[in-house]
Structure 1
Amino acid sequence: MDDKPGLRERKKQRTHAAISDAAIALFLEHGFNQVSVAQVAEAAEVSKRTVFAYFPAKEDLVVHRLADHETEIARVVRGRPPHTAPLTALREHFVQGLRERDPITGLNDHPQVRRVHRMILDAPSLVARMERFKTGSERALAQALRETADTSELTARLAAVQIVAVHWTLAQDNAERLAHGESAEARHPGAVADADHAFALLENGLRDLGRAR
């Protein structure tokens, strides 16, 4: 049996990983804006053209590691158990991510995870790229809600914007606390409480906003 297609695919995966690892190591050591694509290519022992063949933009060298998360919450909505409300499934998924210290929840204090987070915040082009990532997540979630929750297009879009914003705000709050020295273990109870509060606001449609002072 001819295994050449399989060998080619494995070679591509190894090249992809080598470029990514070299880039992240350089970015963390010198800063994202201080490293050129040519330097990444040299460190990975490939041509600059090869780097762009795998990563169309310099920012993709970082953001590709989050690519699976762009449509994650849409997949949760699509794969939720029968008779389970989308918000219920999403809350349970987020809380599970907190428990498992999923970096996308912000509750991961591994040194490299924290350094990558700081690197993204310090590079305007990466921040802008993450905004595109966020927009893609909203679009995917809106489509999932339209197709599985029998919602109108406008309702799905408005809901998706709010849900994605809640996820990002919770994650940013967790990451900021950890950046200031709080451990993931110590932060976990508060992170769960904040998630419960945030999803309760979503479920209640903000109807109680402003009643208590």
Structure 2
Amino acid sequence: MTEGPTGRRERKKAATRQAIADAALQLFLERGYDQVSIRDIAEAADVSTTTLFKHFTGKEALVFDQDQDRESDLIAAVRDRAAGQSILDALRQHVLSTWLPISTHPQRAQFTDLVDSTPALRGYAERMWTRHTDSLSTAIADELGVEHDDLSCAALARFVLEIPALTRSRRDRQAAVEAIFDILTHGWKPPGSPRTTGG
């Protein structure tokens, strides 16, 4: 069975997008974010600036090229979870399986230095996950059969989406992610406080 025109077109589009993102990251790491222009990136990727802007909204988006699918993946983690799996466990699994591999990538140290040393990228990174709060909150509310403006659903969505920023600098990121989800699951206890049992 031969691949249709739409399939070929989408594959070519994805390859072009990846080539642009790879060229941008390489230039940013070599020269520094502020020393690289959109034109530099387009030339390195052998595309026009018009083509570049068809795939990316700006320089920040070029650094975080995997952000495009994050919202749909988050919603799918909630809506398509296994039978009997809680929403929190589904989100825990999603964060561990999607964010941790990024955080252990061989270029992660260089990438983190680039982001941390560039105010525009640092701000974008902090907003990147949390801007999906409304859509994730809505998905959680739908699963629970409550109103979309339910505060507990919005709070849970926001807390989950803060996890990458909260755990980014931790030595053992997996343990940190697990610890935060344990707090969300069992409630917060002051550090060092004895566990109490209901009577």
Deviations 1:131-163 (A, max 9, x none): 332223322220111111234422211111122
Q: Distance in 2 between matches of 1:67 and 1:117?
A: 20
Indicate the residue corresponding to 1:173 in structure 2. 169
Q: Distance in 1 between matches of 2:178 and 2:156?
A: 17
Instruction: Give structure 2 stretches of 5+ with no counterpart.
Output: 195-199
Indicate the residue corresponding to 1:197 in structure 2. 179
**Which AA in structure 1 matches 2:179?**
H
Deviation (angstroms), 1:28? 1.0
**Residue pair 1:74, 1:141 contacting (<8 A) in 2 also:** yes
CA RMSD after TM alignment? 2.9
1:159 lines up with 2:141 in the alignment: no
Indicate the residue corresponding to 1:121 in structure 2. 116
Indicate the residue corresponding to 1:87 in structure 2. 88
Instruction: Give structure 1 stretches of 5+ with no counterpart.
Output: 178-186
Q: Distance in 2 between matches of 1:102 and 1:158?
A: 26
Q: Which moved more, 1:63-72 or 1:18-27?
A: 63-72
Q: Distance in 2 between matches of 1:20 and 1:120?
A: 15
Deviations 1:89-130 (A, max 9, x none): 2234444568xx511xx3x151x2321222122222222222
Deviation (angstroms), 1:34? 0.8
Query: Quick check: which one's helix share is greater?
Result: 1
**Residue pair 1:74, 1:144 contacting (<8 A) in 2 also:** yes
**Which AA in structure 2 matches 1:22?**
A
**Residue pair 1:74, 1:137 contacting (<8 A) in 2 also:** no
Indicate the residue corresponding to 1:40 in structure 2. 41
From the superposition, tell whether residues 93 and 20 of structure 1 become closer, same or farther in structure 2 (CA, over 3 Å).
Answer: closer
SS at match of 2:127: helix
Indicate the residue corresponding to 2:126 in structure 1. 131
From the superposition, tell whether residues 135 and 166 of structure 1 become closer, same or farther in structure 2 (CA, over 3 Å).
Answer: closer
Deviations 1:26-85 (A, max 9, x none): 111111111001111121222222222221212111112233334433322212222322
SS at match of 2:59: coil
Q: Calculate the TM-score normalised by the size of structure 2.
A: 0.79
**Residue pair 1:70, 1:133 contacting (<8 A) in 2 also:** no
**Residue pair 1:71, 1:141 contacting (<8 A) in 2 also:** no
**Which AA in structure 1 matches 2:153?**
A
Q: In percent, how many aligned pairs have the same letter?
A: 30
**Which AA in structure 2 matches 1:197?**
A
Indicate the residue corresponding to 2:28 in structure 1. 27
Structure 1 runs of 4+ with >6 Å offset: none
SS at match of 1:59: helix
